[in-house]
Structure 1
Amino acid sequence: MSLMTKIGLRTLVASCLIAVGGAANAQLNVLVTGVGSTQFPIATATFAGEANSPQQVAAIVRADLARSGKFTNVDAGSAPVSETDSVDLGGWKAKGANAFVAGSVNKLPNGQYEVRFKLYDTVKGESLGGLVLQSPPAGLRMSAHKVADYIYQKLMGDRGVFATRLSYVIRTGGRYQLQISDSDGQDAHIALSSPEPIISPAWSPDGTKVAYVSFEKKKPIVYVHDLPTGRRVIISDQKGNNSAPAWSPDGRTLAVALSRTGNTQIFAVNADGSGLRRLTQGTTIDTEPTFSPDGRSIYFTSDRGGQPQIYRMSAQGESAGAAQRVTFTGSYNTSPRVSPDGKQLAYISRTGGGFKLYIQDLQSGVATALTDTTHDESPSFAANGQYILYATQVNGRGVLAAVSTDGRTRQILSVQGGSVREPSWGPFMQ
């Protein structure tokens, strides 16, 4: 058995053999284990009217900002403060808050909820604007995430990812569940439940679909699952293994790894399952494709040099030119993922007998370990490129973890009484 075959089986076996005692909690629990070197002090007051709403919006905003690792929450007390109230910005500055947030939550006659807020710079003594958001009761958590995104962008200068979603696989009661949740692991729901393994979920660029591999027909088959409707389409059911789906940036094409010709090779297929075409032409194993953000290149794992390494080829395939090796640090590198700006590569490297998450500058080639764990797998960049979600183990149990690309901010997302694998971080929502 080749090393590349073992790599594929390692991921599969991890998914197949997760033993879970009892029912797993559907929600992920978040533990922040590291923060940035400097944190921005901010006070978020209780929103007026939120005591009568289904969600405590201000508490969700505070939790979002805290888990980013870039903010520290200054105690704002329990008294609600509306966006229309007069605010003593100097007083909040004296309490150590460089920014202050006030807002309100109101139920509208049509049953929807309206969230209004204002963000203030207490140092400059000025308003930084705000938003008016409307949603059904079930959408209030997402409205809170959008408030946090606005704050993050105004104060950090980069787009926030609190209003994005996660997908991951939990095994509970002998069944595998593909779950979709908010970025904080809450508001989780089951997209697919099966007695057979589900692996390799991948978000479409517009965030409405997830491609994945399901073994429900006793063999690996690639599906595309439309989340709003629940409708599924088989994308690849070729002879042998069908695995590792990856979307092109325009959402029209998926790259997949198929063994229909013998050794696993990379193919492209249209998003409706038509137009299958082979991209790699090797006699060894090529797998785990992922597109560059501009759609012009595909990165993938290959053992063509004797050991698994990461290569890059044209999205048109090797007929347009031979693939070029990308990773040179370490002798065993797999699971490539390219940052949204195309400047960095996340991957898993076998180091000292364990598997660690690495990040590589694609211009300089410099690679850096981001973790000190030894069972890392399945990296996935946040849509803003500042964090990487991955699966690992803590005390022998599978968890999800997220780390900032500078390695300073860390968080663990775990399921009470169970294990979780196969994470994928969704795109910015439209």
Structure 2
Amino acid sequence: MIKNITRSYTKTFLWVMTLGLSIASLQSHAQMSIEITGVGQSLYPIAVMRFKDENKLPTSVTEIIRQDLARSGYFKNTENGNASESDEGTPNYKSWSARGADALAVGSVMQTGPSQFEIHYKLFDIRKSESLGGLDINTSADNLRAAGHKIADDIIFKLLGERGIFSTRLSYVIKEGKRYRLVISDADGQNIRNAMSSGEPIISSSWSPDGKKVAYVSFEDRKPVIYVHELATGRRISLSNQKGNNSAPAWSPDGKKLAVSLSKDGNTQIYGINADGSGLHRLTRGRTIDTEPQYSADGRYIYFTSDRGGNPQIYRIGAEGEQVEGAKRITFKQGFVTSPRISPDGKYLAYIANIGGAFRLYILNLATGDSQALTDGTSDESPSFAANGRYVLYSTKVGGKRVLAAVSVDGNSKQVLSIPGSDVRQPSWGPFMD
């Protein structure tokens, strides 16, 4: 589909609207598998010991922690067996140092009810011979994965000084038979839950900054309409159902408004709208097509795709509109560029570039103007930054199938998240959850 795009403005817009609509079915029992390729130049050696009495749990918290740390691209686990270590007292630092560990994580499990558990975890810095504290987590059997992710996040923060993203969530769209589903999963692709199901396509999901809502485009009325969906209750509102196409919702950093693409006045342009559907106003004044808006991290600007200069490129305007602060072109090094995404720290722009018919994920340093390809793919789509800005999630093809993939912003660590026999598309990485 993508390779048949011409320079026609109309076909460019149709590409944006239909990106990711051909999605194969997902088996209801299937789980996402993860393949990690490439790591950083040096890995932090850590011993994550089997938690004492973990056999009482229906799900292994230890394995969740180990898998999270391996996926981060920063850690090497030096203990992979079933041996446990007491979480009481002080470990033998010299012994653990001799075994090649720079850090040690230990824990224990206590059952407090029919399906209730108390998990104790402690972390030690072997090199400095000191305790780094730990966590006591009361959890139900249904939330054991969340407990493991929380512990892995704590390890990341205490050893690397940055916030972990294992407790964040993903959204993506799958097709099952003749029905489409917008699903929510953990950051590792597991624990899949339905958010929305329809007999018509669902595309372009976008997380609210607090992680409680998702905006998306649904074709259930046989035309693209933008909805805002409250995940906890299932309640939703029709945000924009204007004449023509309603597409590409993107939240402002404060969650009070969204930028959207509408064709109600003829050619597709960027509009602003309040999160309750009120206050619609036009932001761009191009004569061609302006689409795929994204707010800057500080909310001062809106980045978007436009072919006002010929082929699609990324431009920027002030958040109050093009009449207040005119459009500035941002990308120059590739001839066909779409899908802008801004990193949470505002330093990087991820985008998709057409290089000789191959659609490939790139990253641009907004301060220096330097850009680099993060993949060698030919059909990358839908980039989305992790909440800590360290990784970019996207859709690509492996073996003819659509899969989700993630790559570190330096390009060194890559992983593929796939469901056997299924195609998955339109991913979006959710924010930190307080």
Match of 2:148 among 144, 150, 153: 144
**Worse overlay, 122-131 or 162-171:** 122-131
Mapped contact 1:26–1:188 kept (Cα < 8 A): no
How does 1:80-229 map onto structure 2 within 5 Å?
80-109=84-113, 111-229=115-233
Aligned position for 1:16: 21
The Cα shift of 1:10 comes to 3.0
The Cα shift of 1:283 comes to 1.1
Cα separation, 2, equivalents of 1:302 and 1:353:
19
How does 1:345-364 map onto structure 2 within 5 Å?
345-364=349-368
CA spacing shift, 1:69–1:138, aligned 2, 3 Å: same
1:404 matches 2:408? yes
Mapped contact 1:113–1:135 kept (Cα < 8 A): yes
SS in 1 for 2:331: coil
CA spacing shift, 1:12–1:261, aligned 2, 3 Å: closer
Report the residue type matching 2:350 in the other structure. Answer: A
Cα separation, 2, equivalents of 1:145 and 1:82:
21
Aligned position for 2:305: 301
The Cα shift of 1:27 comes to 2.8
1:370 matches 2:366? no
Match of 1:64 among 60, 65, 68: 68
Cα separation, 1, equivalents of 2:9 and 2:374:
23
**TM-score (structure 1 length as normaliser):** 0.96
Report the residue type matching 2:111 in the other structure. Answer: K
**TM-score (structure 2 length as normaliser):** 0.96
Aligned position for 1:44: 48
1:320 matches 2:319? no
CA spacing shift, 1:229–1:26, aligned 2, 3 Å: farther
How does 1:222-301 map onto structure 2 within 5 Å?
222-301=226-305
Q: Deviations over 1:159-182 (max 9, x none)?
A: 110110000011122211111000
Aligned position for 1:385: 389
Aligned position for 2:3: none
The Cα shift of 1:14 comes to 4.6
The Cα shift of 1:128 comes to 1.2
Mapped contact 1:381–1:425 kept (Cα < 8 A): yes
Contiguous gaps of at least 5 residues in structure 1? none
Contiguous gaps of at least 5 residues in structure 2? 1-5
Mapped contact 2:13–2:289 kept (Cα < 8 A): no
The Cα shift of 1:33 comes to 1.4
Mapped contact 1:168–1:178 kept (Cα < 8 A): yes
SS in 1 for 2:20: helix
Q: Give aligned-pair identity as a percent.
A: 56
Report the residue type matching 1:296 in the other structure. Answer: R
The Cα shift of 1:4 comes to 4.2
The Cα shift of 1:12 comes to 4.5
Cα separation, 2, equivalents of 1:271 and 1:246:
10
The Cα shift of 1:9 comes to 2.8
Cα separation, 1, equivalents of 2:414 and 2:404:
11
SS in 1 for 2:184: strand
Mapped contact 2:24–2:174 kept (Cα < 8 A): no
CA spacing shift, 1:5–1:415, aligned 2, 3 Å: farther
SS in 2 for 1:16: coil
Matched positions, count: 429
The Cα shift of 1:416 comes to 1.5
**Worse overlay, 400-409 or 193-202:** 193-202
Match of 2:339 among 313, 335, 338: 335
Mapped contact 1:355–1:376 kept (Cα < 8 A): yes
